[in-house]
Amino acid sequence: TAVQQPAVESAPAPPVASAPQITKPAQPVASASTETTQAAQREVEIVTPFWHVKLSNRGAVATSWVLKRDGDGREIKAANGGPLELIPQGAVEKAGAPLSLYLPSLPALAKQLNQVNFQIEEVGGSEQTINVAPGESRQISFIYRSPTLTARKTFKFYGDRLVFDTTADVISNGEQQAAQMVIGPRIGDQTDKQSGSYSTPPQVIAYTLTGEREQILGSYITPPFAKVTSLDTGSNRIEIDRPLAGDVNKVKIVAADGQTFLGYATVTNREAGSRSLTLDSLPEGAAVGCGVAQGADTLRRPYRWAGLVDHYFAMVAFPEQPIPEITLTNIQMKMSPQDEAPLDFPLVAVPVRADSDTHVFVGPKQREVLAAISSEYGTDLGALIDYGLLAFMVRPLVPAIGWALDGLARLFHNYGWAIVVVTTIINLALSPLRWYSSKKMKKAAKHQPRMKELQERLKKLKENPKKYEREMQQLQQEQLALMKEANPLGGCLPLLLQMPIFWAFFVYLTISLDVRQAPWIGWIKDLSTPDPYYVLPILMCVTMIASTALTPQPASADPSMKMQRIMMTWLMPIMLTWFFFFSAPSGLVLYWMISNVVGVGIQLAINKMTAEPVATDAGTSPGAGKSGSAKPPRKGDGTRKRKASDNELIEGAK
């Protein structure tokens, strides 16, 4: 039934600042309709093996996107155990919905198109649910026409992949307009409340043609640059303490706290060097002291893909043509009264064309799935996974670690025990390096007194270097010989060689979807979340203290060295546990704890094998002790002999 189109003033378009128009060659276009599209508001549900999507014809946008299964076909749930909704339901009305349009040269027209009801085509009759089975595909088109405007958005869904295709065509007054499609706001698991260094809040991500990976937190997008010093509600005029850039005609008004989003407004007139602005409307709550920000930021460089990402999930667009620019914006608001601070709701708009598909990936950041999609479409979605600063070392090792953990997890039906076994195997395999390191450290500790003695002798001889030049050279040569035989740095080198393996294991456990919601024992229901009772971090702290205490250290009578060792043995593990491991995922803490436990066992065995033999009397027969065995050398005899030898050198020089 045809109905009158609703008013178009209730919700703003997400990105709202102007950007330079992308010039395209003129193309022949169909004549505009003499009638305006009249359609009732309705939703169409798209059900594939991976998604359950709701598309509304009001703006032709997505209002719900539930991820049902991962790329391997395994069922996937939200952090709270419910359906995994990727779109923040409470924010769509204010922040905008995914797949809405943004027209850089005509933002007001984009605002209108995002609020009108489109006619749905390619859907038979009143069909409300479209099922797309494996091997099938279905295309849905949304069309809006008026005497001066024609807009078409097309979506094609597949039953065997986590990618859909889209095109968009906007013709206004006979001219084709450059269009962008909005991804966001805040795509990801909406129930995931983790924060800190082990989480990834929803943020913009982009990948350049030169292989550079860019991630931009919402708080860094369009921050307030000025404050409202006065305003007139009658004329919608505001005065600000800093001028607005000349190429910006849309602004974002935020509360006096500099965060809470109030609304967007279009600049209709500017005076006093862009410090006095007349707006098309004043958002509710606008007052003196409120912040003013650009509606959007535009980044211009050749991108291969761009979108939004959180710790485990992503929505990323990769057109067939390179992306010349992307438009960013961010809204901060509270979802509930219980929120301590406003949340960021970032959005990014990516160019979309009528003559070529824009592919959009929506799903988990699974390494194998991203590799398969990258190979099929000729892109590198593998860069969605953050391997950290040492990515060049970690990335090649991750497949082997994943293969070992996945294989043992299938064997034990428990990912926690797989971590225990693989960690044990890795530590045992690297034990020769630990043995070599321990041997070097013990030699260094054994020769430390002599090294100290040589340093003292050299210090005295340096008082008259010309006179004792030959003697100083002899002592220095002895120093070099001792350092060559037992250099403490030689003991550190084997430990450095094994660090890439341990770091790759560390990174894998923090990014792997397989660890997410995987239980271990008892109270550990999810290895990707912190231990709720802090049992594992405390046990790990104890094992770290034991491991440090058993590690050979150079002997020293220096009080400062003794204090340093006490701090390294006791204070450092406690501080690391408090600041880093209390909030760390349980799987990561389990790995570290088992590594310490196995390391303690290996170190005990090494200490026993490399222990110095106990000195015995010369005689071994029962009567040897009675008949006169050689007495063991008195303590300090060797030192006194070396001192006498050094003194003889000095006396001889005299």
User: For 527-578, what is each residue's pLDDT tens digit?
Assistant: 999 999 999 999 999 998 988 887 766 555 567 667 777 777 788 889 988 9
Strand partners, 67: 51, 84
**pLDDT of 320:** 93
Higher pLDDT, 238 or 457: 238
Pick the closest to residue 102 from 297, 280, 362 (CA basis): 297
DSSP per position, 285-300: T--TT-EEEES-EEEE
pLDDT score, position 561: 65
pLDDT surpasses 70 at 335: yes
Q: Residue range 155-162: average pLDDT? A: 96
pLDDT at 35: 73
Burial label for 9, CB within 10 Å (0-12, 13-18, 19+), is exposed
DSSP H or E segment with residue 595: helix 586-609
Computed over its alpha carbons, how large is the radius of gyration of the chain?
35
| 368: pLDDT strictly greater than 90 | yes
CATH entry, 43-221+298-384, from 2.70.98.90, 2.102.10.10, 3.40.50.300, 1.10.10.10 = 2.70.98.90
Query: What is the rounded distance in angstroms from the CA atom of residue 28 to the CA atom of residue 33?
Result: 15
Lowest mean pLDDT among 147-156, 452-461, 579-588: 452-461
- The per-residue DSSP string of 415-447 comes to HHHHHHHHHHHHHHHTHHHHHHHHHHHHHHHHH
Q: Which amino acid would we find at residue 300?
A: R
Higher pLDDT pick, 18 / 577? 577
337: pLDDT confidence band, cut at 50, 70 and 90?
A: confident
Structure tokens at 537: 């971090």
Please state the separation of Cα 234 from the chain's center in Å: 47
In whole numbers, what is the pLDDT of the chain averaged over residues?
Answer: 83
> How many angstroms separate the CA atoms of 599 and 91, rounded?
50
Task: Render 178-236 in DSSP notation, one character per residue.
Answer: PEEEEE-SS-S-TT----STT---SEEEEEETTS-EEEEEGGGSS---EEEEEEETTTT
559 preceded by a cis bond (ω within 30 of 0):
no
Does the pLDDT at position 20 exceed 50?
Answer: no
More confident site: 481 or 32:
481
Give me the residues paired with residue 62 across strands: 55
> Is pLDDT at 10 greater than 60 in this prediction?
no
The domains of the chain are located at: 43-221+298-384, 226-294, 407-609
